[in-house]
Amino acid sequence: MNETIRTDRMDRIDHETDLCIVGGGLSGLCAAVAAAREGVRVIIMQDRPMLGGNASSEIRVWVRGAKGLHNRETGIISELEEDNIYRNPELNYSVWDSVMWEKAKNEKNIELILNCSCCDAETVTENGVSRIISVTGWQLTTYSWHTVKAKYFADCSGDSVLATVSGAKWRVGREARNEYDEAIGHELADRKTMGMSCLIQARETGRPVKFVAPEWAHVYNSDADFNFVCDRTGNSVRSPKKVADGSLSIADQTINVVTSMSRPHKLGTSETNFWWIEMGGDRDSIRDTEAMRDELLKIAYGIWDFIKNRGGEPNSENWELSWVGFLPGKRESRRYIGQYVMTENDIEAGGKFEDTVAYGGWPMDDHNPAGFMSYEYSFPPSVLFPAPSPYGIPYRVLYGPDVSNMFFAGRNISVTHAALSSTRVMATCALIGQAMGTAASICINKEETPHGVYLNRLDELQSKLLDQGCFLPGFKRRIPELTLGAKLNITDGERAVLFNGEERPDADGKINYVTLPVGGELSFDFGEEKELGTLRLLFDPDFSRKSVSKNKKMRVFAQASSIGFDFSPMTVAATLVKEFEVFVDGEKVFSTDTCHNSLVRIALARNGRKVTVRFGATWGADSVHLFSADIS
């Protein structure tokens, strides 16, 4: 129940909920949806008009995650992508915003407070440990203060806005190498971070388009004015001689790198998103944001002028500048110091944690703090160090010992700078958010503490995540007892595959799904009447991605940057099943002809002896690929 107190000054609106999430990027959104689906009342306080953070239309960073054909992220992030492909095949960014917004809106337990910037918190200290009572934010559109009281809070703001007001431990910058014995580390700790960026997008038009550069734009007459000539040998990079204070050096030793990055500006659908228009890592990544934005705009417009008018791209005549980001996207600022600090060494060892609740697999992509200005030092904008894919991320990096009722998820989790350079990618952040929201729901529903979940309810947390379709490397999903007692109309071999608890192909090529004919049926006969709860079906999302797009980068995640004439609309994965019906003891209880998701849960909520699923058309495949089917 919200209470509005009207004063002669600004309105003050009080809310009360179970879980208040500050920040609605992909980590905050996935956390909220996961918690809400566990019956928890959630409020998201988000300072922008839309959800999605860096993935939204305001910033337009591409969602990336673990490398490798079969390592795609599943769970809520894949549900979002599947909805986007179905609703938004042209990859319009405004429609993508609406897909994320409706994901929250469709959950009856989620309340959104948008355009509301959290700026304070009320806390109490009990036995040296802090507890948050409420957070307060200013809503730009209504000129009102919103105060949210909650049992639990989650900081998904990226910048860790609650760090300075909650009593939590946090840090900013790069650790000294000897702190955690990290090879990527620097001799001395500093406050430098990866920078922030304003991206640009262009569109091919079919007619010549002029561009008049603003007077304030920087001028670049050749690549040599801003580009680093990159070493793509994959062997080694040595610290540059021209570094004035040593701070730009990645190391004074030879380090094995995957590759170092240059600043590409070729125009085309599967080409760059201009991530390298980056500044601010050598400044204060929070306080200097406005100054950095002004500088980034001068660079962005200067780069487009170079491309169009100064010979940067010979085929640019018919391309127009379609969008320039005015809100800098942030890569790094404050990170919490949690129950455990995950390091480069943990990543390199494959992250084999007993409390794995998410995973990563992006290389350690360590951006130069000088960002765009790093060219002055003949040093690359980013260096990629190899990381195994997938590696596990432990639960203990999502909460700390200093605040009893706060979680964190996203780029502010308890990792070192080196580890963050991999965990920060958004599909990974989304998994981390889903894990955090699920853990918070256990705290709320079972009156458990965050650390109590680690000590007493880890199996419950991991089982819930596996049931939600999340992949946890090294863990198998348990099949519900009810299902194991049923007789199925498939062979024993097929039954073994369906119930093996593995829901994606193995690295060794084992496909792990059962193939059924279109028009075929799968039935569960329990022999006697049983209480039937939920039917869970997991279809093959097409891990190869070949059926969703012919544009290479769009196969990774359904988002575009520049759009050329070679763009073709996305198509729902051919392996997904569009039409199916469910019968209990011969009575039809569910049917759909618009299904476009890989994970489907249908509430049966009745007693029955036999459940039959009849599969109709797929989105193109000539058979149905089923990773799992069970009833609980």
Residues that bind ligand FAD in the complex, under the rule CB under 6 A: 22-28, 45-48, 53-54, 61-64, 117-118, 137, 156-159, 161, 196-197, 199, 275, 329-331, 410-411, 424-426, 429
> Minimum distance between the CB of residue 137 and ligand FAD, rounded to whole angstroms?
6
> Minimum distance between the CB of residue 11 and ligand FAD, rounded to whole angstroms?
18
Spatial neighbors of 623 by CB under 8 A, at least 6 apart, are 515, 516, 517, 518
> Minimum distance between the CB of residue 21 and ligand FAD, rounded to whole angstroms?
9
444: buried, middle or exposed (CB in 10 Å: 19+, 13-18, 0-12)? buried
Spatial neighbors of 420 by CB under 8 A, at least 6 apart, are 332, 335, 411, 413
> How far is the C-alpha of 379 from the C-alpha of 130, rounded, in Å?
44
Q: Which is nearer to ligand FAD, 185 or 329 (CB)?
A: 329
Prior bond to 380 cis, omega within 30?
A: no
Q: Which is nearer to ligand FAD, 426 or 537 (CB)?
A: 426
Q: Identify the CA nearest to 592 among candidates 600, 191, 309.
A: 600
Q: Is 109 helix (H, G, I), strand (E, B) or coil?
A: coil
> Minimum distance between the CB of residue 558 and ligand FAD, rounded to whole angstroms?
13
Q: Which is nearer to ligand FAD, 30 or 443 (CB)?
A: 30
> Minimum distance between the CB of residue 45 and ligand FAD, rounded to whole angstroms?
5
Beta-bridged to residue 109, according to DSSP, are none
Spatial neighbors of 321 by CB under 8 A, at least 6 apart, are 200, 201, 202, 211, 304, 308
> Minimum distance between the CB of residue 69 and ligand FAD, rounded to whole angstroms?
18
Q: Which is nearer to ligand FAD, 184 or 429 (CB)?
A: 429
> Minimum distance between the CB of residue 309 and ligand FAD, rounded to whole angstroms?
25
The crossing angle, in degrees rounded to 10, of helices 26-37 and 93-105 is 30
In Å, how far from its chain's centre is CA 536?
24
Spatial neighbors of 471 by CB under 8 A, at least 6 apart, are 71, 73, 74, 75, 359, 390, 503, 504
CA distances from 195 to 133, 172, 292 (A): 33, 13, 9
Q: Which is nearer to ligand FAD, 390 or 608 (CB)?
A: 390
> Minimum distance between the CB of residue 55 and ligand FAD, rounded to whole angstroms?
6
Q: Which is nearer to ligand FAD, 427 or 537 (CB)?
A: 427
Strand-strand pairing, 587-592 and 391-394 = unpaired
Q: Which is nearer to ligand FAD, 364 or 426 (CB)?
A: 426
> Minimum distance between the CB of residue 296 and ligand FAD, rounded to whole angstroms?
10
Using an 8 Å Cβ cutoff, are 269 and 563 in contact? Answer: yes
Residue 98 phi, psi dihedral angles, 5° rounding? -70, -30
CA distances from 305 to 218, 227, 301 (A): 9, 15, 6
Q: Which is nearer to ligand FAD, 202 or 425 (CB)?
A: 425
Q: Identify the CA nearest to 361 among candidates 547, 507, 194.
A: 507
Q: Which is nearer to ligand FAD, 274 or 499 (CB)?
A: 274
Using an 8 Å Cβ cutoff, are 585 and 525 in contact? Answer: no
Using an 8 Å Cβ cutoff, are 437 and 43 in contact? Answer: no
Q: Which is nearer to ligand FAD, 73 or 175 (CB)?
A: 73
> How far is the C-alpha of 170 from the C-alpha of 178, rounded, in Å?
19
> Minimum distance between the CB of residue 432 and ligand FAD, rounded to whole angstroms?
8
Q: Is 462 helix (H, G, I), strand (E, B) or coil?
A: helix
Q: What angle do CA 214, 217, 223 make, to 5 degrees?
A: 125
> Minimum distance between the CB of residue 183 and ligand FAD, rounded to whole angstroms?
22
> How far is the C-alpha of 453 from the C-alpha of 437, rounded, in Å?
13
In Å, how far from its chain's centre is CA 580?
30
> Minimum distance between the CB of residue 431 and ligand FAD, rounded to whole angstroms?
11
How many residues in total does the chain contain? 632
Q: Where are the beta strands (DSSP E) in 310-436?
A: 319-324, 329-330, 334-336, 356-360, 364-367, 382-385, 391-394, 406-408
Beta-bridged to residue 120, according to DSSP, are 136
Q: Which is nearer to ligand FAD, 56 or 575 (CB)?
A: 56
Q: Which is nearer to ligand FAD, 366 or 502 (CB)?
A: 366
> Minimum distance between the CB of residue 50 and ligand FAD, rounded to whole angstroms?
8
**The two structure tokens encoding residue 131:** 């507890």
> Minimum distance between the CB of residue 567 and ligand FAD, rounded to whole angstroms?
19
> Minimum distance between the CB of residue 536 and ligand FAD, rounded to whole angstroms?
28
In Å, how far from its chain's centre is CA 30?
8
